[in-house]
Structure 1
Amino acid sequence: MHGTHTLPVGPVRDGALDLLKWLALLSMVLDHLRYVGLSLDGLYVPGRLAFPWFCLAIAANVHRVRYVPVTGHWRYLGWLLLFSVISEVPYRLFIEDADTLNVLPTLVLGLLVARGWQQKALFDRGLALLALSIAGAFATHLMFGFFGVLLPVAMLLVFSRPWYFSVLPGLVCVAANQWQILLNSGTPVALLGLATCLIAPWVGLVLLRHAKNVSPPAMRRWAYALYPLHFLLLLLIRQIIA
Structure 2
Amino acid sequence: MRAPGLDLVKWLAMLTMVADHLRFVWPQADGLFVVGRVAFPLFCLAIAVNVARNEAGPLCTRSNLRYLGLMLVFTVLSEPVYRWLDSGSLTFSIMPTLVLGLLVAWGVHYQQGLARLLGLAALISGWLANDRLMYGLPGVLLPAGWLLARRHGGAGWLVPCLLAMAGNLTNGWLREHLLAPFTWLVLSAALFAIPLGVALLRCTKAEIPAVGRWGYAFYPGHLVLIKLMGGG
TM-score, L = length of structure 1 = 0.88
1:120 is aligned to 2:111: yes
Asked whether the equivalents of residues 21 and 57 of structure 1 are also in contact (C-alpha less than 8 Å), the reply is: yes
> How far off its partner does 1:64 sit?
0.5
Q: Give the 5 Å matches for 1:178-197.
A: 178=169, 181-182=173-174, 184-185=176-177, 186-197=179-190
> How far off its partner does 1:184 sit?
4.3
Asked whether the equivalents of residues 41 and 142 of structure 2 are also in contact (C-alpha less than 8 Å), the reply is: yes
Q: Give the 5 Å matches for 1:92-241.
A: 92-162=83-153, 165-178=156-169, 181-182=173-174, 184-185=176-177, 186-208=179-201, 210-238=202-230
Distance 2:221 2:67 in 1: 19
Matching residue's letter, 2:98: L
Distance 1:113 1:120 in 2: 12
Matching residue's letter, 2:112: A
Bigger CA drift: 83-92 or 152-161? 152-161
1:31 is aligned to 2:34: no
Structure 1 segments of 4 or more deviating over 4 A? Answer: none
> How far off its partner does 1:182 sit?
2.3
Identity %: 43
Q: Secondary structure at the match of 2:134?
A: coil
Asked whether the equivalents of residues 21 and 53 of structure 1 are also in contact (C-alpha less than 8 Å), the reply is: yes
> How far off its partner does 1:207 sit?
1.5
1:71 maps to what in 2?
62
Q: Secondary structure at the match of 1:127?
A: helix
Q: Secondary structure at the match of 2:193?
A: helix
Change (3 A) 1:163 1:27: farther
> How far off its partner does 1:163 sit?
6.1
> How far off its partner does 1:161 sit?
3.8
Asked whether the equivalents of residues 60 and 156 of structure 1 are also in contact (C-alpha less than 8 Å), the reply is: yes
> How far off its partner does 1:164 sit?
5.7
Matching residue's letter, 1:55: C
Matching residue's letter, 1:58: I
Q: Secondary structure at the match of 1:96?
A: coil
- Please report the RMSD computed on the Cα atoms of aligned residues, expressed in angstroms: 2.0
Matching residue's letter, 1:126: L
> How far off its partner does 1:174 sit?
1.0
Q: Secondary structure at the match of 1:126?
A: helix
Change (3 A) 1:141 1:38: closer
1:47 is aligned to 2:56: no
Q: Secondary structure at the match of 2:207?
A: coil
Distance 1:139 1:184 in 2: 17
Matching residue's letter, 1:97: G
Asked whether the equivalents of residues 167 and 199 of structure 1 are also in contact (C-alpha less than 8 Å), the reply is: no
Change (3 A) 1:19 1:84: same
Matching residue's letter, 2:15: L
Matching residue's letter, 2:83: R
Matching residue's letter, 1:147: P
